[in-house]
Structure 1
């Protein structure tokens, strides 16, 4: 078996089992808690007051995998006021002082006491689809929250589906994951977050336990579980990746130069709206890949890099995607399993989910991975690592020859506030950082930094793609960077068609030589050469400020616990201007 049950993990000294795990496990083992399959959870979900049945068939292959009856249709669950994750509700048990821990433990016991007044159900799943990385997980919830349990089973893999593979997988020094959800929890205690209702996401990553109290949104269950999986992978020495990765095989191409490239993997890391899925899932990079190539996708959201064995492994068989760009009739609807917070519409007498965020923001769907075309459960080590950033001072593509600069740019991966936000002009200048585009990290940043240093030491080459637009005359008046141009550059990187020269403003970084990139994108140099920008003094001032903010951010992080590593990263971010 892969991960370990509580008794096996703590058997040498059961007193070392953390309180939160003991509370969760005791609930899981209550004989009144009924274990359900995906099919049973689906039938229970159909009776929920906040779940609507539609006439859209669940993707047949997914329905069969989940053991659903023939003709099963997509369920739409609307959550109310909250239609997204709530970071402010998170509390991290391992970071609490003793007095705070005692308070939270007692409050949690009271919450579970209240929860046990309801009929409860549980389900078991396997996280991970590669036999070398599988973790067992259990979720417990109230019977009237069956839709979240069904969605959780669909998002991961019901235990019954992988029982044989799991039994043969190697044992890991990792405890099983336990997830508890209780939507009816309420409190008047101001210690806990309240947004029209009490909310608590209580995490103990060491114990592999998470409690979602007062939180209906499925993303809390999914990302909470995935957070523990990523963290488990980190404990095994694997780099946790909130990103997409695909592998292109050029060996079947007629073009001899392309054929010589063999297989190449490329990974993308970016915050919402930066093009992560567009780059990962694009069928042929906008028609720029040479004839004869073949492509497989590992995933567009979550995977783990194993530097020692030079492979990447996936956690989930589904995608959890926004539906804002999918109108009625879009071909992606045939791959749907479940929807959340969507409107409904009637078409030719059939009730169908309505995307495009017509009802509310952040409409979501669980979608089968068949949408991606050919996919795999493990792929080769990434040859290329791409940070997708909205930094107007960066040209469309930058290459890093300094591994510490590559890591520093990932560790200070940034976005910006926008004019739609009610903030001052000074606030608009401030960058917003999300290291490695992973808002679900629950361990110290220095651990991620060390993991990604190993990735670059193992042979990956780092790049940034600017996905917002490049400085024309100011930070507001920009040269557009079309997605097609970025896809063309992606193909050029995969096939090593670009020649590079050092960027005089940023030691350790390179820009494509004009003559090599002009062959692919005529006019590139005139549009995106930093030495040709208008208001150059203002440009240089802004560039220096951006990198200064990056340095300050890292200096104020827990990287100060690794001063030598911090110094390398900070020094690598020095602009020469």
Structure 2
């Protein structure tokens, strides 16, 4: 399925063509703006003032796919003080009042006029790799921002690669995506976020248009584009997933019990550092998977669940990963296509990018998906959804016997403020909620709640892994939960090795029985038994406080517009 051009989408009533899309379309159609291929963008990027060419060779199959010369080297795009996304810079057109819209549209037209004074380039890509979910996208930027345009083409799929398949597909009721970018935008109006210089991510989700102004960081282009793709999928009735998913095929296993399990897909949703990639990408769950199994990965960061067709579909052919845990010589460097904000070092006569965040935090790279081993562009409907949390009052593993509790815990997926932050003790106790681990949601929360309710009601089971550690004497003094234990438990879920009992502290939640879990991890049950913690009353008080904070977050959200839905979630969050 393919998306529609502006004329195709709005031709029945051209007056409905939104102003921001018209502004973007007008720029895209400027005949002075030349279209570049990945190879042309790469050559321009090599000459860019903030780009350095390393001696690390681009993953050869990726270089060939992108039309780059044999032996092409990885480019390092190095920024100034801003080396990550700026959420405060986002302005949503649908949320602006009329005076704000008049002001912003005027500023936007002035910004586009200034942008046209400089040499511009554009490129076309296809967002989505499954034949039934493809959206055409166009990006426009300056010649001296070619690195971001090259990286955008790498992150998604250059149009020519899938053009024939795309053009033969039936049309989706979705517009093409347009991305306009200008790193040099300047506007001192306090309406816009200023972090030493102004920044603006102006998003019109209904028109499928985004403007990235004053932003060098590639993640703004990637996540902005992906945000529009996720939202497009939601408009089509699918669930948007900022998570990882893999499909396990047990039919080749030697063990007859495992052989009968067939295929099972398992998905993981978690914020940074919760183990999402570790759970998704692990080759054999730390050696615990049965002999003869087969694994394919859809993606470790972004996909869409088509609830009606019972299928999951991928958006991107690459991975956009941090490199803080990848030292020089790590095998993952073999799959690198591009890097951002890396220091460089001379090793045996070669100028190499160095990970481990030595120059700055949040060093990033684009990796070919081949790193994951076998991968696919669609996989089966998830049998299991796993929320990954860092709540130290929660057991290492819970299963939800109540669908509404599963949905509520996903809608209030939490993290905590860091002790390094300059905040009070009271602030440190407060949780920060990112529903379904997706900070890029631009539509109402109730739409996600409805979508994930549908996923669970259509057969998925819900679980929660705690990757932070479990209360020992306090919320900070914890009993560690090793990754190996969590991977062992993941395998146990996939292979039906666990039996379950109600967890008495949260209605609708269950934990593995002592007999079943101790067979796999001796001593596990007693080690993480809430009855064995020190300062038990303080533990209960903290647990109740965190559940109440979840209730308050949900109660104060836009779920107020859906009172029946809200009531179901609030009633599910009950502590003893």
| TM-score, normalised relative to structure 2 | 0.99
- Tell whether 2:270 aligns with 1:260: no
* Counterpart residue number, 2:74: 74
* Counterpart residue number, 1:199: 199
- What is the DSSP-based 3-state SS (H/G/I as helix, E as strand, rest coil) of the residue aligned with 1:371? helix
Query: Which moved further from structure 2: 527-536 or 189-198?
Result: 527-536
Distance in 2 between residues matched to 1:432 and 1:158, nearest whole Å: 37
Deviation at 1:421, TM superposition (A): 1.3
Deviation at 1:454, TM superposition (A): 0.2
Deviation at 1:465, TM superposition (A): 0.2
* Counterpart residue number, 2:167: 167
- What is the DSSP-based 3-state SS (H/G/I as helix, E as strand, rest coil) of the residue aligned with 1:173? strand
* Counterpart residue number, 1:102: 102
Distance in 1 between residues matched to 2:165 and 2:350, nearest whole Å: 40
- What is the DSSP-based 3-state SS (H/G/I as helix, E as strand, rest coil) of the residue aligned with 2:171? coil
Deviation readout 1:248-283 (Å, 9 max, x if unpaired): 111111111111111111000000000000000000
* Counterpart residue number, 2:149: 149
Deviation readout 1:33-59 (Å, 9 max, x if unpaired): 110000000000001010000111100
* Counterpart residue number, 2:409: 409
* Counterpart residue number, 2:514: 514
- Tell whether 2:35 aligns with 1:35: yes
* Counterpart residue number, 1:476: 476
- Tell whether 2:448 aligns with 1:464: no
Deviation readout 1:379-427 (Å, 9 max, x if unpaired): 0000010000000110100000111100000000001112111111111
* Counterpart residue number, 1:320: 320
Distance in 1 between residues matched to 2:129 and 2:418, nearest whole Å: 39
Deviation at 1:151, TM superposition (A): 0.2
Deviation at 1:169, TM superposition (A): 2.1
* Counterpart residue number, 1:567: 567
Distance in 1 between residues matched to 2:534 and 2:482, nearest whole Å: 21
Distance in 1 between residues matched to 2:5 and 2:190, nearest whole Å: 35
- What is the DSSP-based 3-state SS (H/G/I as helix, E as strand, rest coil) of the residue aligned with 2:440? coil
Deviation at 1:81, TM superposition (A): 1.1
* Counterpart residue number, 2:131: 131
Deviation readout 1:425-445 (Å, 9 max, x if unpaired): 111110000000000000000
- For 1:385-424, list aligned pairs within 5 A: 385-424=385-424
Q: How many residues align?
A: 576
Distance in 1 between residues matched to 2:170 and 2:369, nearest whole Å: 26
Deviation readout 1:490-539 (Å, 9 max, x if unpaired): 00000010000111111111110001000001111121112222221111
- Tell whether 2:345 aligns with 1:345: yes
- For 1:101-500, list aligned pairs within 5 A: 101-500=101-500
* Counterpart residue number, 2:557: 557
Deviation readout 1:268-322 (Å, 9 max, x if unpaired): 0000000000000000000000111110000000000011111100000000000
Distance in 2 between residues matched to 1:334 and 1:547, nearest whole Å: 44
Distance in 2 between residues matched to 1:286 and 1:344, nearest whole Å: 33
Distance in 1 between residues matched to 2:506 and 2:235, nearest whole Å: 34
- What is the DSSP-based 3-state SS (H/G/I as helix, E as strand, rest coil) of the residue aligned with 2:287? coil
Deviation readout 1:151-192 (Å, 9 max, x if unpaired): 000000000000111012221000000000001100111111
Query: Which moved further from structure 2: 504-513 or 297-306?
Result: 504-513
* Counterpart residue number, 2:50: 50
Distance in 2 between residues matched to 1:313 and 1:259, nearest whole Å: 26
Distance in 1 between residues matched to 2:167 and 2:508, nearest whole Å: 47
- What is the DSSP-based 3-state SS (H/G/I as helix, E as strand, rest coil) of the residue aligned with 1:337? strand
Deviation readout 1:74-109 (Å, 9 max, x if unpaired): 000011110000000000001111111010000000
Q: Runs of 5+ in structure 1 lacking a partner?
A: none
Distance in 2 between residues matched to 1:287 and 1:511, nearest whole Å: 23
Distance in 1 between residues matched to 2:56 and 2:319, nearest whole Å: 18
| TM-score, normalised relative to structure 1 | 0.99
Query: Which moved further from structure 2: 447-456 or 164-173?
Result: 164-173
Deviation at 1:13, TM superposition (A): 1.2
Deviation readout 1:447-502 (Å, 9 max, x if unpaired): 01000000000000000000100011111111100000000000000001000011
Q: Once superposed, which parts of structure 1, at least 4 consecutive aligned residues long, lie more than 2 Å away?
A: none
Distance in 1 between residues matched to 2:419 and 2:134, nearest whole Å: 44
Distance in 2 between residues matched to 1:523 and 1:93, nearest whole Å: 55
